[in-house]
Chains A and B, each alone.
Chain A
Amino acid sequence: MQKTPLYDLHVELGGKMVEFAGYQMPVQYPAGVLSEHQHTRESASLFDVSHMGQLILKSTVLGAELEKLVPSSIQNLTQGQTRYTVLLNEEGGILDDLLVTHRGDHLYLVVNASRKDEDLAYLRQHLDAEINYIEERSLIALQGPKAVDVLSALNPVCATMKFMTGQTLELAGMSVYITRSGYTGEDGFEISVHNNDVEELSRLLLESEFVKPAGLGARDSLRLEAGLCLYGHDMDETINPIQAGLRWIIQKRRREEKGFPGADKILDQLENGPEKIRVGIKPEGRAPAREGVEIVDSDGNKIGVVTSGGFGPTVQGPVAMGYVEASKSGIGEKINLMIRGKAMPANIVEMPFAPHRYYRG
Chain B
Amino acid sequence: MLKFSKDHEWVEVDGDVATVGITQYAADALGDVVFVEVPEAGATFSQGDDAAVVESVKAASEVYAPLSGEVTEGNQVLADNPGMVNEDPLGEGWFFKLKVSDAAELEEMMDEDAYNEFIADL
Chain A interface residues toward B at CB < 8 A: 27-28, 32-35, 37, 217, 221, 286-288, 290, 310-311, 313, 318, 340
28 A-B pairs within 8 Å (CB atoms) are namely A27-B58, A33-B31, A33-B56, A33-B57, A33-B58, A34-B32, A35-B32, A37-B57, A217-B31, A217-B57, A217-B58, A286-B79, A286-B82, A287-B35, A287-B37, A287-B53, A287-B55, A288-B34, A288-B60, A290-B59, A290-B60, A310-B58, A311-B34, A311-B35, A311-B55, A311-B57, A318-B35, A340-B53
Q: Indicate if the CB atoms of B55 and A288 lie closer than 8 Å.
A: yes
Complex Cα–Cα for A32 and B31 (A): 7
Chain B interface residues toward A at CB < 8 A: 31-32, 34-35, 37, 53, 55-60, 79, 82
Given the contacts A286-B35, A311-B34, A34 and B57 also touching, CB distance less than 8 Å: yes
Q: Indicate if the CB atoms of A313 and B79 lie closer than 8 Å.
A: no
Q: Indicate if the CB atoms of B57 and A221 lie closer than 8 Å.
A: yes
- Other A-B contacts than A35-B32, A290-B60, 6 sampled, CB-CB below 8 A, are A33-B32, A34-B34, A311-B55, A313-B57, A318-B35, A340-B53
Complex Cα–Cα for A37 and B32 (A): 12
Complex Cα–Cα for A27 and B37 (A): 25
CB-nearest residue of chain A relative to B50?
A: A340
Complex interface: chain B residues within 8 A of A310 (CB) = 57-58
5 closest Cβ contacts across the A-B interface? A311-B34, A34-B32, A33-B57, A32-B32, A286-B35
Complex Cα–Cα for A91 and B22 (A): 50
Chain A proximity of B38: nearest CB distance (Å): 12
Complex Cα–Cα for A221 and B31 (A): 14
Complex interface: chain B residues within 8 A of A287 (CB) = 35, 37, 53, 55
Complex Cα–Cα for A32 and B58 (A): 11
Complex interface: chain B residues within 8 A of A34 (CB) = 32, 34, 57
Complex interface: chain A residues within 8 A of B31 (CB) = 28, 32-33, 217
Complex interface: chain A residues within 8 A of B32 (CB) = 32-35
Complex Cα–Cα for A288 and B37 (A): 11
Complex interface: chain B residues within 8 A of A311 (CB) = 34-35, 55, 57
CB-nearest residue of chain B relative to A28?
A: B31
CB-nearest residue of chain A relative to B82?
A: A286
Complex Cα–Cα for A204 and B47 (A): 54
CB-nearest residue of chain A relative to B60?
A: A290
Chain B proximity of A220: nearest CB distance (Å): 9
Complex Cα–Cα for A286 and B35 (A): 7
CB-nearest residue of chain B relative to A27?
A: B58
Chain B proximity of A95: nearest CB distance (Å): 28
Chain A proximity of B31: nearest CB distance (Å): 6
Chain A proximity of B57: nearest CB distance (Å): 4
Complex interface: chain B residues within 8 A of A286 (CB) = 35, 79, 82
Q: Indicate if the CB atoms of B58 and A288 lie closer than 8 Å.
A: no
Chain B proximity of A22: nearest CB distance (Å): 20
Complex interface: chain A residues within 8 A of B37 (CB) = 287
